[in-house]
Chain A
């Protein structure tokens, strides 16, 4: 059997072929040895491929066919908001005046770009209900860390050096505790109660004079709105701590509730989620951070401000936490998000959330008879099922996920949040039609039946993909992380 039906680019390389067309060498050249010391002239060429342009296009086209994106089919990956990525965004981001400008050009020559960024800051400030937004952070986790660094700087400026604890719910994204650590803070976990919400009594127990912040996703990773948010805000603020909003789930509350109005002091957004990034196979993203007025002095620099009719980069920020990234953030992603917001407008964004929430609740109710629903109440933009009923039949959630591949779907997020046994986190988004949802629901019902009648069909899935389940243990035990001839 052919054990590698897709060649690596290195395996189709043939000495003597080229795939480039460099400019003519129109200046006089001199021997390299006269410019560089001999020790620093590379002797052996880097072993990169030697292929023609058609070889390249065929190779990557073949690879693309072995990849599932939102444009390929339904992608109900919970917490990731895999909505449609509008094509106009791609065109706009490729305009010469956006794609081909240099960050160090004289600001007078990039007023269009600075103006766009300023307007995006203003739009996001209104959407989040905060007082100021920075567009610097490159991604959600980067935004979390930036926000926590600011909170730390705020406490330190107040002489509050003992505030080193960040309270994080047990249902939180892994980046939350990791960001706290990287910001030099410690994580304390607060438990969820039987309703899937933060346990207020447990929060009272952990909150105190050492509290730097409470990090919260709202709605949380179960897709449930933390309805005690005001009590929680009061508890944390009374103790002198700050409230941090993880914006991963903002798609659930656009025009319904703003983090700033809920008492949050710092917010990060994932523009690649709520505002159609796209996800790019893992990035690039963009993770703007919004803050209330008392934290504005600590924002990373520079900030884009308007002076008269001119947009300028403001570096004069003595209390700033400093630079978190070179230049001004992931501009190209910010352009896409701006284009999206301008395509939707206020009524469009309101409809986004309403439709996303209707879609999620509809699926949840249709699937409820066939899978366990640990938290039975209206969800927001996503919901979490448990596969424990199927597990008793010998079919694990992983098997269900793999079986979904045979139907042409990307599976839900599985085994997350950690407080649900055999969890499946489903987020349909607003851009999917009822027909798509119904077809997915039918597939899930069929799989539930298979689990009872022909469990091996599920256990041995996937059956139709280009490759079967992979040996991940082998990959980790004997890592092969690069091609070697």
Chain B
């Protein structure tokens, strides 16, 4: 068998089998009992040459309507943002993408330092003391936060706002089932967490309270008021945040959060049909030894030179085994690198400017759509998303938009039955005035 990934020649093979002392490769598999030996070859598609496979997969990809060719107003946790071109150039350095976890620091300083810088940037945006080197995604990061809160407070109930991303809520519930933690939802009122309901549900059995900022409907939650209630019952205040929004919004850390998580996808990470993205996880100093996942720390070498290592590993599964509080091993390091490069390229000014562009464009879109007579519900301070009541069935509207080159927003009726035929519209900095006006026009036409 000749293949470009397999360098062993027939001569190599004979020499090596000779050195091993066997006459055939088959002999090396004699320890596999005959009855479980797989005979023959897998019944899978035959190999294709590089050009033939490129052609086939390129055509398969072209069957999908992509965000580069359609104007997308779809967000709901995954956004179409400006990704500086340089991000992919850095990511394509194979010293990064073909490396394993940096367990050998002497030959992994590049990765370790990049992640140390990433941790710093996440701390800066969230206003927290410590950030880990990444989690799978925003949903599982949030679930780990809930489990941390339960372990830390030794309480078995979590409150989660109904305005948290529906899929994150589901993931939290699955993890909670594992740890036998009860999850109770706080209803929302007009698109933000109902504070009266929170007060009613708050008691000293509650390990942590989870809120999303900005929330699933795009609204800014009243974190200040919530913080008082939550810390009043000595519970953990857990905030899930779009990190881009924090370029313009007061950080959760400054508003008293104990744990801040989210997904760094808005920073240079493609939508990629939902993954891989990059969960982030940030805490106060008090919780540093309870953080799940890998942490990079600064130290010195034998000559006193600054260097970086994976540290506080006694928390992790490979040391603590069944006593570990999280089982995470592989994380999303390469995407943390992507986020890091994007945050670096945007920098101090760009992150703020981009966040403000989102606010302004979404605001403009909201007004433009309202001007066409379409109702905006849950109207109030928001980031880059808002909710509209459609003048026609969702699927019909969405189909019409698609025919005009647009990908419509999220169908809220699929997760909030009371919001049938309501659309969550996302407007990022990439949407032009022309595209926004076209959306408003189309929605207005449906109205008439």
Contacts and interface: CB of A to CB of B under 8 A. Distances in A.
B191 to A, nearest CB: 15
A393 interface: no
Given A9-B344, A257-B36, A280-B334, A64 B248 contact: no
B102 interface: yes
Contact of A434 (B16, B96, B350): B16
A419 interface: no
Contact of A104 (B53, B76, B121): B76
A218 B285 CA distance: 41
B94 A85 contact: yes
**Most A CB atoms within 10 A — which of B95, B137, B360?**
B95
Contacts of A23: 82, 357, 429-430, 432
B137 to A, nearest CB: 6
A168 B113 CA distance: 36
Contacts of B349: 18, 45, 50
A4 interface: yes
Contacts of B27: 378
Given A182-B327, A345-B46, A431-B5, 17 more contacts: A3-B300, A42-B251, A77-B100, A86-B5, A104-B410, A112-B60, A139-B330, A174-B318, A178-B324, A280-B332, A280-B335, A284-B334, A378-B28, A470-B308, A475-B297, A479-B288, A481-B116
A30 B28 contact: no
**Most A CB atoms within 10 A — which of B1, B303, B343, B436?**
B1
B98 to A, nearest CB: 3
Contacts of B88: 94
Contact of B102 (A129, A281, A347): A281
A357 interface: yes
B110 interface: yes
B393 interface: no
A471 interface: yes
A322 B173 contact: yes
B408 to A, nearest CB: 9
User: Which 4 residue pairs of A and B lie closest in terms of their CB atoms, listed nearest first?
Assistant: A327-B274, A345-B47, A97-B61, A280-B334
A45 B348 contact: yes
A97 B63 contact: yes
Given A32-B248, A112-B63, A348-B3, A45 B332 contact: no
B360 A30 contact: yes
A423 interface: no
B53 A339 contact: yes
Contacts of A103: 78, 271, 273-274
Contact of A281 (B123, B139, B333): B333
Contacts of B297: 475-476, 479-481
Interface string A55-69: 011011111111111
Given A98-B61, A482-B116, A41 B107 contact: no
A386 to B, nearest CB: 20
13 contacts: A27-B361, A28-B364, A48-B347, A92-B61, A100-B270, A126-B44, A140-B330, A281-B111, A330-B275, A333-B276, A345-B45, A467-B109, A483-B117
Nearest to A186: B322
A178 B122 CA distance: 27
A27 B139 CA distance: 33
Contact of A472 (B22, B311, B333): B311
Contact of B171 (A18, A46, A324): A324
A346 B120 contact: no
Given A64-B110, A433-B8, A96 B69 contact: yes
A56 B328 contact: no
A115 interface: yes
Nearest to B322: A177
Interface string A423-449: 000000011111000000000000000
Interface stretch (B128-136, B199-207, B230-238): B128-136
Contact of B119 (A17, A82, A326, A482): A482
Contacts of A287: 330
A128 B64 CA distance: 29
Interface stretch (A204-212, A235-243, A360-368): A360-368
A343 B330 contact: no
B259 interface: no
A69 B137 contact: no
Q: Number of contact residues on B: which range applies?
A: 35 or more
Nearest to A406: B106
Interface string B160-192: 000001011011011101111000000000000
B329 to A, nearest CB: 4
A361 B436 CA distance: 63
A433 B7 contact: yes
A471 B25 contact: no
Interface in A300-331: 300, 321-331
Contact of A332 (B223, B275, B317): B275
A42 B352 contact: yes
B279 to A, nearest CB: 9
B353 to A, nearest CB: 6
Contacts of A377: 31
Interface in A214-250: 224-225, 227, 229-230
A348 B19 CA distance: 24
Nearest to A125: B44
B14 to A, nearest CB: 10
A155 to B, nearest CB: 14
Contacts of A178: 317, 320-322, 324, 326-327
Contacts of B322: 177-178, 180-181, 186-187
Contact of A101 (B180, B250, B271): B271
Interface string B371-408: 00000000001100000000000000011001000010
Interface string A237-276: 0000000000000000101111001110000001010000
Contacts of B326: 178, 182
B67 A281 contact: no
A18 B317 CA distance: 41
B145 interface: no
B266 interface: no
B61 A282 contact: no
A74 to B, nearest CB: 12
Interface in B73-124: 74, 76-78, 80, 82, 84, 86, 88-90, 92-102, 104-111, 113-117, 119-121, 123-124
A410 B108 CA distance: 10
Interface in A80-128: 80, 82-86, 88, 90-106, 109-113, 115-116, 119, 123, 126-127
A192 B110 CA distance: 39
A56 B311 contact: no
B95 A9 contact: no
A482 B120 contact: yes
Contacts of B16: 358-359, 361-362, 434
A71 B120 contact: no
Contacts of A342: 45, 47-48, 53, 56-57
A392 B6 CA distance: 39
A179 B100 contact: no
B215 interface: no
Given A348-B3, A476-B311, A282 B15 contact: no
Contacts of B433: 26-27
Interface stretch (A142-150, A288-296, A450-458): A142-150
